[in-house]
Chains A and B, each alone.
Chain A
């Protein structure tokens, strides 16, 4: 009973702090760095107003004309013509009630670059087919679905088969209110592409952590807030389903400068998470951007009598736009398991190129340096290379 009261108190504290931040807090994006282009709202490009998942028609056109290099097109081809070719069937329009897309991500990973135990792996990270059906021409009401293929890499206990990763009804109930019902990503923090980042998978926000739930997202020109209640992923076993709520919001201090906050509280029969984060996104100029997320994470292992671990995490990302389609990306992450006792601290710096050389593609080449700090043993640096190929058709 005491622990329940303690948890309620903590949740009330989290909510109170969130409201302090309000007028302060983040809408998450799949490419939150694109605030550098002046696009600070995710609904501009995605069907999900919190970002990630399928691109809408405008997002496809923007990807082709602003983000991707146009070296393969002759100078005589106008941006309007390039934009018109960005549909699923090129210039041929699909009927208004139907949109589809294909996404693939593959990762070539080489770890232990400077050690004798170097390991190489190729991982098919993502193979998605988006099928979206709309019930009116304005696309105010629609069914958004993502079918994915689990190959060698498991999706829960599935392998070498298709499964439904996302399926939700999106409804623009008011000019300023979006409602989402179904299985989709939880509303929390910055939705980075790197699902292994300290602010994603370690916090139950990873690649496969979509959850059945309802999200209400209020959006105004200078601020937005999303509230999410969720009960876990359909593919999870009941005892590990994380059930709870989250909230995220963002306030635009001035053009291309947003600050925000997020909270999440959820538990299964095995683990309980309480999270809180402060975020910021700054568009620097001409496509360059800075992102930051700093948070605390309380993890309780319910299978043992151990006390809850209160840890911290932080991430900063800088994207430098060199020329259209060519960017430098630098991400520094830090995580500590428990701030109340001796615990290991991890840091990781990924630096490399984020390239959009051809229409509908993305190439990432990142060199990753890892550091650890421990109060009982000193730790050597580690190095790895990540080469990532992404097709978004």
Chain B
């Protein structure tokens, strides 16, 4: 029992001694805050569909529609911030024309990275630009040695985007930017949950 009392005394003394001799610690000034987010977005874009049937080459359009799931890390400074996210996507694409080659709901998958630099209009309300690297996998059905390809497998693109805090933990994200040929635009619209 006495040993316990001694131990207790020693510890309490150490704490008191530590408190008395501690150097005054200046409170660190907070210069940035960071948060994690999980997102769900709908995505849409078009690509040039290159069709080669029986030795005849034609072009058409492929319309992609799908969803994108993301995990992101956001860092906010006083008037600006940056964000990095990993994304996975999937969906279906329609392409061609019923007059010739035509396929609907061709499955596709996406994986990629997005980095974003933004201006903070206020709080989590921000306007910015993103760079996206998305790898797409889609196999367009063909017969008898014909080939059908749409766009590129690897897409590097820039987007103009904005994020609005619509509820305390939920943000609305909207991004639009050029993709591929034919002056097509990539759309991404969704919500991000902050945790």
Please report the C-alpha to C-alpha distance between residue A347 and residue B176 in the assembled complex, in whole angstroms.
13
Chain A, range 244-260, C-beta contacts under 8 Å to B: none
Chain B, range 139-195, C-beta contacts under 8 Å to A: 160, 162, 164-166, 172, 174, 176, 182-185, 187, 189
State the Cβ distance, A31 to closest chain B Cβ, in Å.
Answer: 17
* Residue A388 interfacial (CB < 8 Å): no
Among candidates B49, B95, B127, B183, residue contacting A320 with C-beta atoms closer than 8 Å: B127
Interface of B is mostly: strand
Verify B122–A285 contact, CB threshold 8 A. Answer: yes
Please report the C-alpha to C-alpha distance between residue A267 and residue B186 in the assembled complex, in whole angstroms.
39
Among candidates A318, A373, A375, A380, residue contacting B164 with C-beta atoms closer than 8 Å: A318
Please report the C-alpha to C-alpha distance between residue A377 and residue B95 in the assembled complex, in whole angstroms.
7
Interface centre among B60, B121, B165, B187 (most CB of A within 10 A): B121
* Residue B46 interfacial (CB < 8 Å): yes
* Residue B98 interfacial (CB < 8 Å): yes
Chain A, range 373-387, C-beta contacts under 8 Å to B: 373-381, 383
Question: Which residues on A sit within 8 Å (CB–CB) of B127?
Answer: 320, 322, 328
* Residue B12 interfacial (CB < 8 Å): no
Verify A381–B60 contact, CB threshold 8 A. Answer: no
Please report the C-alpha to C-alpha distance between residue A290 and residue B174 in the assembled complex, in whole angstroms.
12
Q: Which of B31-39, B61-69, B72-80 contacts A (4 or more CB under 8 A)?
A: B61-69
Verify A285–B125 contact, CB threshold 8 A. Answer: yes
Question: Which residues on B sit within 8 Å (CB–CB) of A391?
Answer: none
* Residue A225 interfacial (CB < 8 Å): no
Verify B121–A369 contact, CB threshold 8 A. Answer: no
Verify B172–A378 contact, CB threshold 8 A. Answer: no
Instruction: Across the interface, name the chain A residue whose C-beta is closest to B182.
Output: A380
Verify A369–B176 contact, CB threshold 8 A. Answer: yes
Verify A318–B174 contact, CB threshold 8 A. Answer: yes
Verify B63–A378 contact, CB threshold 8 A. Answer: yes
* Residue A284 interfacial (CB < 8 Å): yes
State the Cβ distance, B51 to closest chain A Cβ, in Å.
Answer: 11
Verify B95–A378 contact, CB threshold 8 A. Answer: yes
Please report the C-alpha to C-alpha distance between residue A349 and residue B188 in the assembled complex, in whole angstroms.
11
* Residue B9 interfacial (CB < 8 Å): no
State the Cβ distance, A47 to closest chain B Cβ, in Å.
Answer: 31
* Residue B8 interfacial (CB < 8 Å): no
Question: Beyond A285-B122, A318-B174, A351-B176, is A378–B164 a contact (Cβ under 8 Å)?
Answer: no
State the Cβ distance, B118 to closest chain A Cβ, in Å.
Answer: 11
Among candidates B98, B123, B183, residue contacting A377 with C-beta atoms closer than 8 Å: B98
Instruction: Across the interface, name the chain A residue whose C-beta is closest to B62.
Output: A378
Please report the C-alpha to C-alpha distance between residue A114 and residue B165 in the assembled complex, in whole angstroms.
34
Please report the C-alpha to C-alpha distance between residue A351 and residue B162 in the assembled complex, in whole angstroms.
11
* Residue A195 interfacial (CB < 8 Å): no
Interface of A is mostly: strand
Question: Which residues on A sit within 8 Å (CB–CB) of B172?
Answer: 290, 316, 318
Verify B122–A286 contact, CB threshold 8 A. Answer: yes
State the Cβ distance, A316 to closest chain B Cβ, in Å.
Answer: 7
Question: Beyond A290-B172, A318-B162, A376-B98, is A381–B125 a contact (Cβ under 8 Å)?
Answer: no
A142-162 interface code vs B (CB 8 A; 1 in, 0 out): 000000000000000000000
State the Cβ distance, A21 to closest chain B Cβ, in Å.
Answer: 19
Question: Beyond A288-B121, A369-B176, is A377–B166 a contact (Cβ under 8 Å)?
Answer: no
A307-334 interface code vs B (CB 8 A; 1 in, 0 out): 0000000001010111000001010100
Verify A374–B189 contact, CB threshold 8 A. Answer: no
A349-393 interface code vs B (CB 8 A; 1 in, 0 out): 101000000000000000001011111111111010000000000
Please report the C-alpha to C-alpha distance between residue A285 and residue B60 in the assembled complex, in whole angstroms.
45
Please report the C-alpha to C-alpha distance between residue A267 and residue B65 in the assembled complex, in whole angstroms.
36
State the Cβ distance, B181 to closest chain A Cβ, in Å.
Answer: 10
State the Cβ distance, A151 to closest chain B Cβ, in Å.
Answer: 34
Closest 10 CB pairs of A and B: A114-B183, A378-B61, A376-B98, A369-B185, A381-B184, A377-B97, A380-B61, A378-B95, A378-B63, A284-B164
A-B contact pairs, 28 of them (CB 8 A): A284-B125, A284-B164, A284-B165, A284-B166, A285-B122, A286-B121, A288-B122, A290-B166, A316-B172, A316-B189, A318-B174, A320-B127, A328-B127, A328-B162, A332-B174, A351-B176, A373-B94, A376-B102, A377-B98, A378-B49, A378-B61, A378-B62, A378-B94, A380-B61, A380-B182, A381-B183, A381-B184, A381-B185
Given contacts A320-B127, A375-B94, 15 further A-B contacts (CB under 8 A): A285-B123, A285-B165, A316-B172, A320-B125, A328-B162, A347-B44, A351-B176, A377-B102, A378-B60, A378-B102, A379-B46, A379-B61, A380-B46, A381-B184, A383-B183
